[in-house]
Amino acid sequence: MKNEIYCCVFYVWINFLSKNCISDVLTPNIIAAKYCEAEMNADYKARAEHLDLTRVLREDVRKAKLPMRAEAIDYISDPLIAINSCDVLSVKIEGNQATAILRTSRLAISKGMGGNPDDNPRQFIADVNPNDESKLNFVLINGEWKIIYPPYPRVGIQALIKIYDKDLERPKNNSEAALMYENQKKSFHYGRSEFEFLKKLSEQ
């Protein structure tokens, strides 16, 4: 009788764990999907949550020919790639390492950095590729899957347009515009041109 009770308790406990613990484990498959969602929504915090940036050292990046810019925090000035979609093609797990292949619909790349028109600012250049693939490299660290050496940031174009639209709400009238410094005016007009470029590109 005791054995039956123990077996019953054990079964209930295992069932509880499977529903409440195992299901909460973030596997590479889940993280890859969340990563895509974060890229499309221009959510750098959600993207960074699953990154292990301590491994992105200059020497390592140089040897592996990986992009130096692992993150895009300021979406108005940081280098990035504008995309229209992001999908997880495949995930392969081997022990404590894993890889995921992502496919994005690339619309534009960027050159330069910053928003100052007088100092090599970031500029979008149309570069359409509906099958642009990138790889996520995972490693299991203290029981958690983390992405190491993340690929160049790819950001949803609709999210970028919203960010530009919000940023360009200033100045709201001619009086505010008159108070802007000359370099601020240049940056504002430059941002307006990039905003119009992205809008036009998204409609194609």
pLDDT score of 180: 53
* The token pair that represents 33 in the structure block: 């999907």
Residue 97 lies in a domain: yes
Residue range of the domain that includes 8: 2-155
Residue 179 lies in a domain: no
Residue 128 lies in a domain: yes
Cβ neighbours for 3, distance < 8 A, ≥ 6 positions apart: none
* The token pair that represents 192 in the structure block: 């307006």
Residue 164 lies in a domain: no
- 104 strand-pairing partners: 86, 132
pLDDT score of 169: 74
Residue 196 lies in a domain: no
pLDDT score of 121: 81
Mean pLDDT (whole number) for 195-204: 90
Confidence band for 88, pLDDT divided at 50, 70 and 90 = very high
User: What 8-state DSSP symbol labels residue 180?
Assistant: S
pLDDT score of 178: 53
pLDDT score of 10: 40
Residue 202 lies in a domain: no
Mean per-residue pLDDT of the chain? 78
pLDDT score of 99: 97
| Per-residue pLDDT reduced to its tens digit, 26-42 | 999 999 999 999 999 99
* The token pair that represents 137 in the structure block: 């490299």
* 111 three-state secondary structure: strand
Contact between 93 and 65 (Cβ < 8 Å): no
Give the domain CATH number at 144.
Answer: 3.10.450
| Per-residue pLDDT reduced to its tens digit, 93-108 | 999 999 999 999 999 9
Residue 182 lies in a domain: no
Predicted TM-score of the model (pTM): 0.75
Q: Which of 91-95, 145-149, 187-191 has the lowest mean pLDDT?
A: 187-191
Residue 190 lies in a domain: no
Domain count within the chain:
1
